[in-house]
């Protein structure tokens, strides 16, 4: 949710922000609806003032006859108030969905672009491996080593479903646990579990709804309607919904591993093979809730990015860091930086820069979510302010298993287990 007062003062800022994000919104029409709403509100409040005044007067009258006469005079006013209130409510109902659609304008340092193809590579880490044999894809490795079973996954759960088995399942748990441990034990994050089945308020509050409604599984429609979350970001960020935090307790740093559900609507035919794009996966996610300070947000953004990089460095997986362009950062973000890990099976000989696939996504949202969530804190002067929120992946699996399996494969078809994961696999060094 954007700041309505700021929208009134700087409509062009939001119109331009939406254009940069390739989102269609008619700011002028929204402002007009806003003015109509305000007019209706002023009218209602004026009439209500009259009514309250008269009612108080009636309460003071002692003489039954006088009282009766005064009450009789109230009939018309009562009707007017009722009508004015209805007009006000109608106007409010009209503008609310419009406001939820207005994107947060991208920060000035976000490059303009229409889609992911125009994202900008900031820097790289690690040297993509040169194989002296023909490397297998994670699909081939996974099947040959008995780590993945797509066939039965599809049989039981439909397309984009899979089973991890044996050391595949263990590896999956190992990466997630390593990520969680790093954040809680070394980075000072509070480890959490989160609900993955949530109310609509949590989805709307974190900015996934109404825009992304078709991406979420709607479980149990009706009065108890709940949705499956596509990330622990929902549970972690909404945790303090409707609360006023003490400034001294900020920043709040939370991390959780959760199962994530995504319908992947509109991606038919895209990344259909393998573990890259699936309907259900597990992810270790970091969330920071900090003071309302742009510089502090930016600092946290870099910091959280560095944690994700550290994860990849410890796994010794080559990656590149990408500044997403205005057309690719979604309506919520002021800025978004992705990390793309190198996946040999996605590389092709013609393009030396190919082979990178998104494994992490770091978002900076400023007040966007906290306004929707009514998530505030009391500052030094005792003033209530909206918090800033940020989030980033620490590790998402099985997607992260793609670069692990593919980069660590050996000529004999075995896979060496990354050293940092061995403690989580009872010291085992190799698969196969």
Partner RNA sequence: GGAGAGGUGGCGGAGCGGUUGAACGCGCCGGUUUCGAAAACCGGUCUGCCCGCAAGGGUAGCGGGAGUUCGAAUCUCCCCCUCUCCGCCA
Residues 6+ apart with CB under 8 A from 419: none
**Residue 280 in contact with RNA, rule: CB under 7 A:** no
Task: Kindly tell me which residue out of 13, 19, 23, 45 binds RNA, with binding defined by CB under 7 A.
Answer: 45
Q: H helices of 273-347, where? A: 294-314
Least distance between RNA and beta carbon 69 (Å): 11
Give the 3-state secondary structure of residue 268: coil
From 29, 28, 38, select the one nearest 92 (Cα to Cα). 38
Which residues, including other chains, have CB under 8 Å from residue 42's CB and lie 6 or more apart?
Answer: none
What DSSP string describes 44-57? HHHHHHHHHHHHHH
3-class DSSP state of 324 = coil
Q: Which among 361, 363, 370, 397 is annotated as catalytic?
A: 361
Q: Tokens representing 432?
A: 């196969």
In the complex, minimum distance from the CB of residue 339 to RNA, in angstroms, rounded to a whole number? 36
Catalytic (active site) residue 399: yes
Question: Does the protein bind RNA through residue 100 (CB under 7 A)?
Answer: no
197 binds RNA (CB under 7 A): no
Can residue 266 be called a binding residue for RNA (CB under 7 A)? no
CB-wise, 78 or 114, nearer to RNA?
78
CA 33/CA 23 separation, integer angstroms: 19
Q: Which of 342, 336, 374 is nearest to 358 (CA)?
A: 342
CA dist 285 → 127, 304, 333, 377 (Å)? 26, 10, 17, 23
3-state DSSP assignment of residue 409: strand
Catalytic residue list contains 361? yes
Does residue 62 bind RNA (CB under 7 A)? no
Q: Which is nearer to RNA, 69 or 273 (CB)?
A: 69
Maximum pairwise Cα distance, the chain: 105
Q: Nearest distance from residue 384's CB to RNA, in Å?
A: 5
Among 28, 29, 69, 71, binds RNA (CB under 7 A): 71
CB nearer RNA, residue 223 or residue 269: 223
**12 is annotated as an active-site residue:** no
**Segment interacting with RNA (CB under 7 A) among 59-67, 260-268, 307-315, 336-344:** 59-67
- Window of 38-46, 154-162, 171-179, 291-299 that interacts with RNA by CB under 7 A: 38-46
Binding mask 348-387 vs RNA (x if CB under 7 A, - otherwise)? ------------------------------------x---
Catalytic option among 129, 213, 277, 291:
277
Q: What are the catalytic residues?
A: 262, 277, 358, 361, 399
């Amino acid at each position: 949710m954007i700041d309505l007062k700021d929208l009134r003062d700087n409509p062009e800022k939001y119109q331009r922000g939406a254009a940069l994000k390739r989102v269609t919104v008619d700011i002028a029409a929204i402002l007009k609806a806003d003015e109509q709403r305000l007019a209706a509100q002023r009218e209602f409040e004026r009439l209500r003032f009259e009514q309250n005044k008269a009612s108080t007067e009636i309460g003071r009258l002692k003489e039954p006859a006088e009282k009766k006469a005064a009450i009789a005079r109230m009939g018309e006013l009562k009707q007017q108030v009722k009508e004015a209130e209805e007009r006000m409510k109608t106007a409010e109902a009209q503008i609310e969905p419009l406001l939820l659609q207005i994107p947060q304008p991208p920060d000035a340092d976000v490059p303009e672009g229409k889609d992911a193809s125009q994202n900008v590579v900031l820097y790289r880490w690690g040297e993509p491996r040169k194989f002296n044999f023909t490397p297998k894809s994670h699909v081939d490795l996974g099947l040959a080593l008995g780590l993945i079973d797509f066939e039965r996954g599809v049989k039981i759960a439909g397309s984009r479903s899979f089973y991890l088995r044996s050391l595949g399942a263990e590896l999956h748990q190992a990466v997630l646990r390593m990520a969680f441990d790093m954040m809680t034990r070394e980075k000072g994050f509070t480890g959490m579990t989160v609900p993955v089945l949530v109310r609509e308020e949590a989805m709307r509050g974190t900015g996934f709804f109404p825009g992304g409604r078709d991406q979420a599984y709607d479980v149990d429609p009706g009065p108890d309607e709940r949705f499956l979350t596509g990330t622990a970001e929902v549970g972690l960020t909404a945790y303090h919904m409707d609360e006023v935090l003490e400034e001294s307790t900020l920043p709040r740093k939370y991390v959780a591993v959760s199962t994530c559900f995504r319908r992947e609507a509109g991606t038919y035919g895209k990344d259909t093979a393998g573990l890259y794009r699936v309907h259900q996966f597990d992810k270790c996610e970091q969330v920071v809730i900090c003071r309302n300070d742009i510089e502090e947000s930016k600092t946290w953004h870099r910091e959280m990015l560095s944690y994700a990089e550290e994860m990849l460095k410890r796994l010794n997986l080559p990656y590149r860091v990408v500044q997403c362009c205005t057309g690719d950062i979604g309506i919520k973000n002021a800025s978004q930086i992705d990390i793309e890990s190198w996946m040999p099976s996605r590389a092709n000989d013609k393009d030396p820069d190919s082979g990178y696939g998104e494994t992490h996504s770091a978002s900076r949202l400023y007040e966007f979510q906290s306004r929707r969530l009514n998530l505030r804190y009391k500052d030094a002067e005792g003033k209530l302010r909206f918090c800033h929120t940020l989030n980033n992946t620490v590790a998402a699996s099985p997607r992260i298993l793609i670069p692990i399996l593919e980069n660590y494969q050996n000529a004999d078809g075995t896979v060496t287990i990354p050293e940092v994961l061995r403690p989580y696999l009872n010291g085992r060094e190799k698969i196969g």
